[in-house]
Amino acid sequence: MLAVTTVPDIESVGIVGGSLGGLFQAVALAELGLDVTVWERSAGRPDDRGAGIVLQPSVAWFLRMFCGVDPDRISVPVTHRQFFSLDGKSHHTLMRQRMISWGAIYTSLRDRLDPARYHEGAQVTALVPRPEGVDVQVGGAVRSVDLAIIADGSASRHRRLVAPEGAPRYAGYVAYRGVIDEADLSQELSEVFRDRFSFYDGDRTQFLSYFIPGDLGTTAPGRRRMNWVWYVRADAAGLERITTDRNGTVHGLSLPPGLIAPQVHAELLDRARALLPGPMRELVEHTREPFAQAILDGHVSRMRAGRMLLTGDAAFVVRPHTAASVEKAAADAIALFTALLQVPSLDGALRAWEKNRLAEGTALHRHGIGLGDRLGLSSSEATQAAAAGPAA
Ligand SMILES: Cc1cc2nc3c(=O)[nH]c(=O)nc-3n(C[C@H](O)[C@H](O)[C@H](O)COP(=O)(O)OP(=O)(O)OC[C@H]3O[C@@H](n4cnc5c(N)ncnc54)[C@H](O)[C@@H]3O)c2cc1C
C-alpha cells in the first residue's frame, strides 16, 4: 500500500455522497494524510442490487494499492466472449476479463476508511464557497473545509454550483437487470455460461450476462451469482410505466428489485420468450426480482469551481456499454491523488486534474453514445441532443 504524508495548502476535505465515487476519493485523500469527512444521506449500507461490474484496470489498481485487497480474490474470471444467435447457437472468441460486484468494491473501500470519517444519514443541504474553502451545511450544522468534493451521483443537487448545464438526459432505453444465485440454476444452464461473457445483439436490443461473486465476495463455483442486463427501447411513457411499481409509486429513472408491477413483469417474460435465445430467456424466467434503470447521458464542461470539484456520476454519466462508470470514478480519485502529490501549488494541481478528467469524461461520454447508436438503442432525440452538447 501507499504511504504519503504532505499536500500543499489544504488540510481538510469534505465529500458529499458516500457511494463508490465519494469513497474512492475519501480513501485516496486520507492516504495523503488529509482530514477527510464523508457525508452520505442514506442511513445503513446502500442497496447494491447485487449489480455486476466489469473489473477495469484503475479499480483493480485502486483495490490493490489503496485498500490492500487482491482484486483476483473478490472477482470472477471469464476467458471468452460468447455470441448467441436467436436459435440458441453460439460462437466464442478468446477475451480474458474479470467480473466483480458493486458490493465487493463498496465493502473493500468502507473497510479501508476509518469509520469515524463516514457519516451516514447526513444530507448536505448547501455548499457555500469561500475564497479559501467551502462551508458545508449538514442538517443544522456548518462545517468549514478547505476542499469540497461533490460526489452526489447522476441526480446531483449540488452539480449546478460547478456546471449548471450538466443535468443528464434520458437516452431512450432502459436496462432491465437480474441477479440469480448460481445454486438456483440447473447445472446444464450454468455450464452454458461458465467462464463466458455472453452477448445477444437483436433488432435494436442487446442482452448480456456473466457470473459475479456471491455474498461476501465469494467466488467459488456454485456460490456465485449470475448477472444479466437487457437493453430495451422505451419512450417517455414506456419508461414511466416500467418504473411505476406494484404499489403505484412512480420512481422515475429506476425500479428497485422486488417492486416490479405484475403486468410489466408479465410483459417482460412474454418479450423474453419472443425475442431472446433459449438460454437467455431461461435466465429472465429464473429471476425472481428483476429491476430496471433508465440509461442517461450526462456531460459537463467544468469539473471545478474554486475549491469545489465534481466527481463520478455527478460529472459525467456515461452509457453502460463502455463498462467504465466505476472505472471513471476510480480514475478521478487516482488522478486527484497524483496531481496533489506531484504539482507544487494547489491551484496548479486542481487545474491539471480538471483538464485530465474533462478530456477523459468527454471521450467516454461520446464513445458510449456511439456504442448505443450502433446497437440501434438511442432515441433520435438523444442522438441529436448528444451531438448538440450539454443541456442548457
Ligand atoms: C443500480 C446501479 C447499477 C449500476 N451498475 C453498474 C455497472 O454494472 N457497471 C458500472 O460501471 N457502473 C454501474 N453503475 C454506476 C456506478 O455505480 C456509478 O457510476 C459509480 O459507482 C459512481 O457513482 P457515484 O458514487 O458517483 O454516484 P452514486 O452511486 O449515484 O452515489 C451518489 C451518492 O450520493 C448520495 N447523496 C446524494 N445527494 C446527497 C446529499 N445531498 N448529501 C449526502 N449524500 C448525498 C447518494 O445517497 C448516493 O449514495 C450502477 C449504478 C447503480 C445505481
pLDDT tens, 345-362? 999 999 999 999 999 999
**pLDDT, tens only, 185-226:** 999 999 999 999 999 999 999 999 999 998 777 888 888 999
CATH topology of domain 77-98+169-296: D-Amino Acid Oxidase; Chain A, domain 2 (3.30.9)
> Domain 12-43+121-168+298-378 is in which class?
alpha beta
* SS3 call for 318: coil
Q: Find residue 317's DSSP bridge partners.
A: 298
- DSSP class of residue 125? E
Mutation test of ligand 1: which of 45, 48, 152 has the most ligand atoms closer than 8 Å to its C-beta?
152
Grid-cell match 488529509, residue found: 34
**pLDDT computed for residue 392 by the predictor:** 38
Residue type, 250: V
* SS3 call for 48: coil
Mutation test of ligand 1: which of 19, 23, 289 has the most ligand atoms closer than 8 Å to its C-beta?
19
Quick check: 53 and 105 in contact, CB under 8 A?
yes
Residues of the chain with pLDDT under 70: 1-6, 8, 46-50, 380, 382-392
**pLDDT computed for residue 138 by the predictor:** 97
**Taking CB atoms and a 6 Å cutoff, what residues make up the pocket around ligand 1?**
16-22, 39-42, 46, 49, 51-53, 102, 123-124, 151-154, 157, 293, 312-314, 320, 323, 325-326, 329
Distance between CA 319 and CA 251 in Å, rounded? 20
Residues 6+ apart with CB under 8 A from 188: none
Distance between CA 245 and CA 247 in Å, rounded? 5
CA 235 to each of CA 243, 344, 365, 377, 382: distance values in angstroms, whole numbers, following the listed order: 12, 50, 21, 11, 11
Give the pTM. 0.93
Residues 6+ apart with CB under 8 A from 110: 23, 118
**pLDDT computed for residue 9 by the predictor:** 83
* Backbone torsions φ then ψ of 382, nearest 5 degrees: -65, -40
Residue type, 95: M
Domain residue ranges in the chain = 12-43+121-168+298-378, 77-98+169-296
Residue type, 130: R
**pLDDT computed for residue 362 by the predictor:** 97
* Backbone torsions φ then ψ of 326, nearest 5 degrees: -70, -40
**pLDDT computed for residue 258 by the predictor:** 93
